[in-house]
Amino acid sequence: MNFKNYSIREIHNLLVENKISVKNIIEEVIQQVEKDLKENFLITFTSEQAKKVANNFKFNKDKILSGIPYVNKDNVSTKDILTTAGSKILSNYIPPYDATVSKILNDNEAILLGKSALDELGMGGTGLFSFNGIVKNPFDNNRIIGGSSSGSAFAVCKGYVPFSIGTDTGDSIRKPASYVGIYGYKPTYGSISRYGVIPYAPSLDHVGFFTNHAEDLIYLANELFKYDPKDSTSIDNSKNYLDVFNTKNKKIRFGFLQEVWDILDDQLKNAYSKLFENLKKDNHEVEIFSFKKELLDAIPAMYMMISFAEGVSTSSNLDGINFGVRSEAENYQQLIKKTRTDSFNETVKRRFLLGSYQLKKENQELLLAKSKKVRRLVVDRINYFFKQFDIMILPPSLDVAPLISKVYGTDIEERYDDSKAFIHDLLILANLNGMPSITLPFIKDETTKLPIGINICSKPFTDDYLLSTTLYLEKLIKKAFK
């Protein structure tokens, strides 16, 4: 069974009608995954546990996720199952408790198939920096899959599972989704609890998921959005999301950023023009909006300041003292120093260094506080955008997934060289104000035949609106871009 061809609802119906069994699904998918384990997309393959659960499974027709296999990102805690966050320092860490999202999935009787690879601690966007090895683009081995939720994107793209869990601090769900032509959804900030999720930067971190079909996003939102008193940033964004299936689309006001339009190549300009024509034919509005170039240009630096400072602060417990891998040394200070030196990759170390620099007393006002002010200015501009529009359309990237040779050894701070640099980090807009944001499959590049996605965002707390727009766009894109 390849889950690319079946939505969660369809699998559920087949189970209800007894046309397939949970035991068979799990056995089959385990065989498929075994052949692909060398691709490093799983840090832990929970095949034994999954088999055990499937063998005695009592299918529950009232639970849409009952018996549905999934993959969880390895920075999400799973009780008694290794949880490494892609980092050597946690390569022996077995949490004594479940993250809230893992617990909800367990309660819903979904079956965990494995823990997926990520760029260490979520820091990165390539899939090249998980301690267990490189995760490559399944369509072209010379290219990245994107990250940091690399393994989760891989599993859904290959059709091994109908959905997987990811996290998104800058674009870690939505960028890889674009590179492999699947759906990636980062809901409104706080909709899914972060309790038990190993943080990168808490003011930007979101939990979300990948799927192969728009309708699956709706079922997952319906089950996973729950207020959680254990996470102080959790919000109650629960609703009957199934109502989205009955929503009639009224006139939607779509906005596209002028600064982005100015740098699109011909292929994307044509694709977007075609999309806009189709939207207008359906009586929707499409207008260009100038965001202000200097604000967009400030995003990468501001994101780095805020996320690196929060990152080094939240990761200060990773020191080999209480848990994780420990290097031997003569005294306490040296032990911490050696453990951290031995265990973290270069990206993480650089980010920690820059983060610490800003957290120095004399730099806090000068650098960190200033970044927060810039964040506020950008958020004000987003709010202004939504006074005139319902949906913001963003290209997740200007091109297909880059070649590994092009990006290896580079990181976000090296993107200052040209005036188009902001485009790489455009999706971060949605982490700054917490608005919901979904990447959908869009076009196939003419030369490489690789996918390039499209991203849409709406106002915070309007996830239902964004989901109904996604359903609509899925149909329209399939029809118009055959």
Q: In the bound complex, what is the minimum distance in angstroms from residue 388's beta carbon to ligand GLN?
A: 28
Whole-number Å distance between alpha carbons of 365 and 351 = 19
- Going by C-alpha positions, the residue among 179, 183, 117 that lies closest to residue 150 is 117
Dig out the tokens for 64 from the structure.
């849409």
Q: In the bound complex, what is the minimum distance in angstroms from residue 156's beta carbon to ligand GLN?
A: 17
Q: Which is nearer to ligand GLN, 15 or 412 (CB)?
A: 412
Q: What are phi and psi of 294, to 5 degrees?
A: -65, -30
Q: Which is nearer to ligand GLN, 7 or 437 (CB)?
A: 437
Out of 7, 47, 73, 468, pick the active-site residue.
73
Q: Which is nearer to ligand GLN, 162 or 355 (CB)?
A: 355
Whole-number Å distance between alpha carbons of 462 and 444 = 29
Q: Which is nearer to ligand GLN, 146 or 181 (CB)?
A: 146
CA 399: distance to chain centroid? 19
Q: What are phi and psi of 232, to 5 degrees?
A: -70, -10
Task: Reply yes or no on whether 371 is catalytic.
Answer: no
Summarize as ranges the residues that interact with ligand GLN (CB under 6 A).
122-125, 148, 168-172, 200, 412
Whole-number Å distance between alpha carbons of 330 and 328 = 7
Q: Which is nearer to ligand GLN, 53 or 121 (CB)?
A: 121
Q: In the bound complex, what is the minimum distance in angstroms from residue 121's beta carbon to ligand GLN?
A: 8
Dig out the tokens for 238 from the structure.
């629960």
Dig out the tokens for 438 from the structure.
């979904």
Task: Reply yes or no on whether 73 is catalytic.
Answer: yes
Q: What are phi and psi of 162, to 5 degrees?
A: -75, -20
The DSSP string of 7-62 is -HHHHHHHHHTTSS-HHHHHHHHHHHHHHHGGG--EEEE-HHHHHHHHHT----TT
Whole-number Å distance between alpha carbons of 187 and 462 = 9
Give the residue carrying structure tokens 């990102």. 73
Dig out the tokens for 26 from the structure.
């799990």
Kindly report the length of the chain.
482
Q: In the bound complex, what is the minimum distance in angstroms from residue 170's beta carbon to ligand GLN?
A: 3
391: left (phi over 0), alpha (psi -120 to 50) or beta: beta
Q: Which is nearer to ligand GLN, 106 or 203 (CB)?
A: 203
Out of 47, 116, 148, 193, pick the active-site residue.
148
Q: In the bound complex, what is the minimum distance in angstroms from residue 86's beta carbon to ligand GLN?
A: 11
Q: In the bound complex, what is the minimum distance in angstroms from residue 169's beta carbon to ligand GLN?
A: 4
Does residue 482 sit in helix, strand or coil?
coil
Q: Which is nearer to ligand GLN, 284 or 424 (CB)?
A: 424
Q: In the bound complex, what is the minimum distance in angstroms from residue 174's beta carbon to ligand GLN?
A: 9
Whole-number Å distance between alpha carbons of 468 and 472 = 6
Q: Are 470 and 217 in contact (CB under 8 A)?
A: yes
Out of 87, 116, 172, 458, pick the active-site residue.
172
Task: Reply yes or no on whether 178 is catalytic.
Answer: no
| Catalytic site positions | 73, 148, 172
